[in-house]
Copies of this chain bind each other. A is one copy, B any other.
Amino acid sequence: MTMKNTVLVKTITQVRKAVEAAKSSGKKIGFVPTMGALHSGHGSLIETAARQCDFVVVSIFVNPTQFGPTEDLAKYPRTLDADMELCRQTGADAVFAPEANEMYSREQLTWVDVEKLTTGLCGKSRPGHFRGVTTVCAKLFNIVCPHVAFFGQKDAQQAAIIKRMVIDLNFPLEIVICPTVREKSGLAMSSRNKYLSESQRADAGAINQSLQAACQAIISGQRQSTAIIALMREILDRTGVIETEYIHIVDSESLEDVDTITRPVLIAVAAKIGATRLIDNILLDAQALK
């Protein structure tokens, strides 16, 4: 394993300078925006970026504008030393880790909003969340100016929204969505898994089991979303500790509910275990519908 000599920068001026230098020697710039507390899901994004690009920038910024007033902004895990270590191991060239007042140096009056895609799924219980995400991504895209930006499929709604924002606002970059990385139990990697106790973590495996069961049901011929959702809910309920927020079967681009499955869909779940909110999903391709 080769270790990169990853440079850590804190200011917009510095990261722009680093990127400009790389661009001027003809390098293709890859960008992985994160909130830190990096895990192997992020690692896989950085490795993919390093394979596809010549210079990889990772941003680490716990963006206050995407947290609701009752959410976990203050206690969101911050682990910069370990994050730097993972960035070195996975091939990042630069880490951009600004303070909040570097990103929001004056009152933020300008917001980027994506209609329709932001209202369902997580948008329902997290009003304003996606406005914060799209706004900070627009800022980061304009700061880093990458050729390609990499996001995880785990945040499926975010991925659909960012892809749409890039198309609608003609950002001069490509969005690549990378597969979800999972723990052995099948639990999707998430920085918020740190909040789980040992036994909660074991129970959380049921979320992925419910998605796998849905997949099997569809492969076996089930096409009615209500039946599939009922099956999934039963698996989650059986744990006795998972409180399901939503299960939706939607079109993967429009995120609109699909009643009868006749084309590729996204099956998305949000659930709470104790105080910890987790999300997961599976993309069902045309193959599964054959």
- Copies of this chain in the oligomer: 2
Instruction: Give A158-174 as 1s and 0s: 1 = Cβ < 8 Å from B's Cβ atoms.
Output: 00000011011111100
Interface assignment of A9: CB less than 8 Å from any CB of chain B: no
Across-interface contacts of A138 in B (CB, < 8 A)? 169
We find that the number of chain A residues with CB closer than 8 angstroms to chain B is: 28
With a cutoff of 8 Å between Cβ atoms, the chain B residues found around residue A169 in the complex are 110, 112, 135, 138-139, 142
| Contact A108 B168, beta carbon cutoff 8 Å | yes
Query: Can you list 8 residue pairs at the A/B interface with Cβ under 8 Å?
Result: A16-B172, A106-B167, A106-B168, A109-B115, A110-B112, A110-B114, A110-B169, A139-B168
Minimum Cβ distance to chain B for residue A107 (Å): 9
Q: Which residues of A contact B (CB under 8 A)?
A: 12, 16, 106, 108-117, 134-135, 138-139, 142-143, 145, 164-165, 167-172
- Residue in B12, B145, B164 whose beta carbon sits within 8 Å of that of A110 in the complex: B164
Chain B min CB distance to A97 (Å):
16
Shortest beta-carbon distance, A73 to chain B, in Å?
20
Distance between A59 CB and nearest chain B CB, rounded to angstroms:
12
In the complex the two chains form, is A109's CB within 8 Å of B170's CB?
A: no
Known: A110-B114, A113-B113, A135-B169. 18 other contacts (CB 8 A): A106-B168, A109-B115, A109-B117, A109-B164, A109-B168, A110-B113, A110-B168, A111-B112, A111-B113, A112-B113, A138-B169, A139-B169, A139-B170, A142-B169, A142-B172, A143-B170, A143-B172, A145-B172
